[in-house]
Amino acid sequence: MSDFSDVCPKCSSPLGDPIETKTGKKLQRCSMGSWNPQTKQNEGCGFVKWLLVEPKELDEKCPKCDSALILQTTRFGKKMKKCSRGGWDKETKQATGCDYVEWINGIIETLEEKCPDCSESLILFTTSSGKKMKKCSTAGWDREKRVATGCTYIQWLKPGEEPKSSAGEEFLPPEE
Protein backbone atom coordinates (compact mmCIF):
# COMPACT_ATOMS: atom_id res chain seq x y z
CA MET A 1 0.00 0.00 0.00
CA SER A 2 1.18 3.54 -0.67
CA ASP A 3 0.54 6.78 1.12
CA PHE A 4 -0.53 8.54 -2.07
CA SER A 5 -4.19 8.02 -1.39
CA ASP A 6 -5.53 10.95 -3.41
CA VAL A 7 -2.45 12.13 -5.22
CA CYS A 8 -1.03 10.67 -8.42
CA PRO A 9 2.26 8.88 -7.62
CA LYS A 10 3.51 9.67 -11.13
CA CYS A 11 2.96 13.41 -11.39
CA SER A 12 1.67 14.47 -7.94
CA SER A 13 -1.55 15.88 -9.35
CA PRO A 14 -4.80 15.20 -7.49
CA LEU A 15 -6.79 12.19 -8.61
CA GLY A 16 -10.21 12.62 -10.19
CA ASP A 17 -13.53 11.46 -8.76
CA PRO A 18 -14.03 7.71 -8.53
CA ILE A 19 -15.91 6.30 -11.53
CA GLU A 20 -17.51 2.92 -11.98
CA THR A 21 -17.06 0.92 -15.15
CA LYS A 22 -19.90 -1.05 -16.67
CA THR A 23 -18.35 -4.26 -15.38
CA GLY A 24 -18.66 -2.98 -11.83
CA LYS A 25 -15.04 -2.04 -11.26
CA LYS A 26 -14.18 1.25 -9.65
CA LEU A 27 -11.25 3.45 -10.47
CA GLN A 28 -9.83 6.93 -10.15
CA ARG A 29 -7.88 8.56 -12.96
CA CYS A 30 -5.20 11.15 -12.55
CA SER A 31 -6.75 14.59 -13.14
CA MET A 32 -3.90 15.35 -15.55
CA GLY A 33 -4.97 12.45 -17.74
CA SER A 34 -7.93 12.28 -20.08
CA TRP A 35 -9.32 9.87 -22.63
CA ASN A 36 -9.42 11.07 -26.21
CA PRO A 37 -12.19 9.19 -28.05
CA GLN A 38 -10.87 10.37 -31.43
CA THR A 39 -7.37 8.98 -31.12
CA LYS A 40 -8.47 6.25 -28.68
CA GLN A 41 -5.52 7.09 -26.49
CA ASN A 42 -4.85 8.47 -23.10
CA GLU A 43 -3.57 12.01 -23.13
CA GLY A 44 -1.47 13.40 -20.35
CA CYS A 45 -0.84 11.27 -17.32
CA GLY A 46 -1.98 7.68 -17.70
CA PHE A 47 -2.13 6.77 -14.03
CA VAL A 48 -5.20 4.84 -12.95
CA LYS A 49 -5.90 3.77 -9.39
CA TRP A 50 -8.15 0.74 -9.03
CA LEU A 51 -10.47 0.84 -6.06
CA LEU A 52 -11.84 -2.05 -4.12
CA VAL A 53 -15.59 -2.37 -4.44
CA GLU A 54 -17.34 -2.53 -1.09
CA PRO A 55 -18.81 -5.95 -0.40
CA LYS A 56 -22.58 -6.13 -0.23
CA GLU A 57 -24.38 -8.24 2.34
CA LEU A 58 -26.73 -10.81 0.85
CA ASP A 59 -29.96 -12.28 2.09
CA GLU A 60 -28.40 -15.74 1.95
CA LYS A 61 -26.77 -17.93 4.54
CA CYS A 62 -23.42 -19.65 4.34
CA PRO A 63 -23.98 -23.39 3.81
CA LYS A 64 -21.00 -24.13 6.04
CA CYS A 65 -21.56 -22.01 9.12
CA ASP A 66 -24.94 -20.25 8.66
CA SER A 67 -23.48 -16.75 8.76
CA ALA A 68 -24.59 -14.15 6.22
CA LEU A 69 -23.00 -14.26 2.78
CA ILE A 70 -21.56 -11.16 1.15
CA LEU A 71 -21.23 -10.34 -2.53
CA GLN A 72 -17.76 -9.16 -3.46
CA THR A 73 -16.43 -7.89 -6.78
CA THR A 74 -12.75 -8.43 -7.41
CA ARG A 75 -10.49 -5.93 -9.12
CA PHE A 76 -10.92 -7.98 -12.27
CA GLY A 77 -14.68 -7.55 -12.29
CA LYS A 78 -15.41 -11.11 -11.21
CA LYS A 79 -18.12 -11.58 -8.65
CA MET A 80 -18.16 -14.02 -5.79
CA LYS A 81 -20.23 -14.82 -2.79
CA LYS A 82 -18.24 -15.38 0.33
CA CYS A 83 -18.92 -15.94 3.95
CA SER A 84 -19.00 -12.77 6.05
CA ARG A 85 -17.04 -14.65 8.73
CA GLY A 86 -14.18 -15.21 6.32
CA GLY A 87 -11.18 -12.96 6.58
CA TRP A 88 -7.53 -12.62 5.79
CA ASP A 89 -4.78 -12.35 8.35
CA LYS A 90 -2.15 -10.05 6.84
CA GLU A 91 0.46 -11.01 9.43
CA THR A 92 0.32 -14.75 8.92
CA LYS A 93 -0.94 -14.51 5.31
CA GLN A 94 -3.64 -17.04 6.03
CA ALA A 95 -7.37 -17.17 5.59
CA THR A 96 -9.22 -16.89 8.86
CA GLY A 97 -12.71 -17.85 9.91
CA CYS A 98 -14.98 -19.52 7.40
CA ASP A 99 -13.47 -20.20 3.97
CA TYR A 100 -16.70 -20.62 2.01
CA VAL A 101 -16.47 -18.96 -1.44
CA GLU A 102 -18.76 -19.32 -4.43
CA TRP A 103 -17.69 -17.74 -7.71
CA ILE A 104 -20.47 -16.28 -9.80
CA ASN A 105 -19.82 -16.87 -13.46
CA GLY A 106 -22.99 -15.34 -14.69
CA ILE A 107 -26.57 -14.59 -13.82
CA ILE A 108 -29.34 -16.85 -15.06
CA GLU A 109 -32.98 -15.86 -15.40
CA THR A 110 -35.74 -18.10 -16.69
CA LEU A 111 -37.69 -16.60 -19.59
CA GLU A 112 -41.26 -17.17 -20.63
CA GLU A 113 -40.14 -17.72 -24.20
CA LYS A 114 -39.86 -21.19 -25.64
CA CYS A 115 -36.85 -22.63 -27.43
CA PRO A 116 -37.49 -22.62 -31.23
CA ASP A 117 -35.65 -25.95 -31.52
CA CYS A 118 -37.20 -28.07 -28.81
CA SER A 119 -39.98 -25.97 -27.19
CA GLU A 120 -38.46 -26.14 -23.73
CA SER A 121 -38.16 -22.83 -21.91
CA LEU A 122 -35.32 -20.46 -22.61
CA ILE A 123 -33.06 -18.90 -20.03
CA LEU A 124 -31.32 -15.55 -20.15
CA PHE A 125 -27.66 -15.86 -19.26
CA THR A 126 -25.65 -12.77 -18.35
CA THR A 127 -21.93 -13.42 -18.35
CA SER A 128 -19.65 -11.92 -15.76
CA SER A 129 -18.55 -9.36 -18.33
CA GLY A 130 -22.15 -8.26 -18.85
CA LYS A 131 -22.89 -9.94 -22.20
CA LYS A 132 -26.34 -11.45 -22.52
CA MET A 133 -27.51 -14.53 -24.36
CA LYS A 134 -30.61 -16.63 -24.50
CA LYS A 135 -30.04 -20.33 -24.33
CA CYS A 136 -32.10 -23.44 -23.98
CA SER A 137 -32.78 -24.60 -20.43
CA THR A 138 -31.99 -28.20 -21.43
CA ALA A 139 -28.44 -27.25 -22.38
CA GLY A 140 -25.79 -28.61 -20.08
CA TRP A 141 -22.23 -29.87 -19.82
CA ASP A 142 -21.17 -33.43 -19.12
CA ARG A 143 -18.09 -33.05 -16.95
CA GLU A 144 -17.00 -36.66 -17.32
CA LYS A 145 -17.28 -36.92 -21.08
CA ARG A 146 -16.51 -33.22 -21.54
CA VAL A 147 -19.24 -32.71 -24.09
CA ALA A 148 -22.20 -30.37 -24.32
CA THR A 149 -25.50 -32.06 -23.60
CA GLY A 150 -29.10 -31.21 -24.39
CA CYS A 151 -30.20 -28.58 -26.84
CA THR A 152 -27.55 -26.30 -28.31
CA TYR A 153 -29.79 -23.33 -29.14
CA ILE A 154 -28.06 -20.04 -28.30
CA GLN A 155 -28.95 -16.51 -29.27
CA TRP A 156 -26.64 -13.69 -28.29
CA LEU A 157 -28.46 -10.44 -27.69
CA LYS A 158 -27.71 -7.63 -30.10
CA PRO A 159 -24.64 -5.57 -29.27
CA GLY A 160 -26.88 -2.50 -29.74
CA GLU A 161 -28.43 -3.37 -26.39
CA GLU A 162 -25.02 -2.88 -24.82
CA PRO A 163 -24.32 0.82 -25.07
CA LYS A 164 -20.67 1.28 -25.86
CA SER A 165 -18.80 3.11 -23.19
CA SER A 166 -16.95 6.16 -24.45
CA ALA A 167 -14.62 5.92 -21.49
CA GLY A 168 -12.53 3.41 -23.41
CA GLU A 169 -12.31 0.97 -20.57
CA GLU A 170 -10.65 -1.69 -22.70
CA PHE A 171 -7.73 0.62 -23.38
CA LEU A 172 -6.92 1.28 -19.76
CA PRO A 173 -3.51 0.18 -18.59
CA PRO A 174 -3.34 -3.35 -17.21
CA GLU A 175 -4.03 -3.81 -13.55
CA GLU A 176 -1.07 -4.27 -11.32
Stretch that binds Zn ion, among 10-18, 50-58, 72-80, 105-113 (CB under 5 A): 10-18
According to CB under 5 A, which one of 23, 58, 80, 153 is a site residue for Zn ion?
A: 153
CB of 81 within 8 A of CB of 71?
Answer: yes
Q: Name the pairing type of β-strands 106-114 and 121-127.
A: antiparallel
Whole-number minimum distance, CB 86 to Zn ion, in Å? Answer: 7
Identify the bridge partners of residue 42 per DSSP, sorted by sequence position: 35
CB-count exposure of residue 21 (10 Å: 0-12, 13-18, 19+): middle
Q: What is the x/- site pattern for Zn ion, positions 38-67, by CB under 5 A?
A: -------x-x--------------x-xx-x
Whole-number minimum distance, CB 37 to Zn ion, in Å? Answer: 20
Stretch that binds Zn ion, among 13-21, 51-59, 73-81, 101-109 (CB under 5 A): 13-21
DSSP letters, 17-33, are --EE-TTS-EEEEBTTE
Select 21 or 138, whichever has its Cβ closest to Zn ion. 138
Distance CA 149, CA 5 (A): 51
**Which ranges constitute the DSSP H helices of 121-160?**
none
Query: Which residues would be at the binding site for Zn ion (CB under 5 A)?
Result: 8, 10-11, 13, 30, 32, 45, 47, 62, 64-65, 67, 83, 98, 100, 115, 117-118, 136, 151, 153
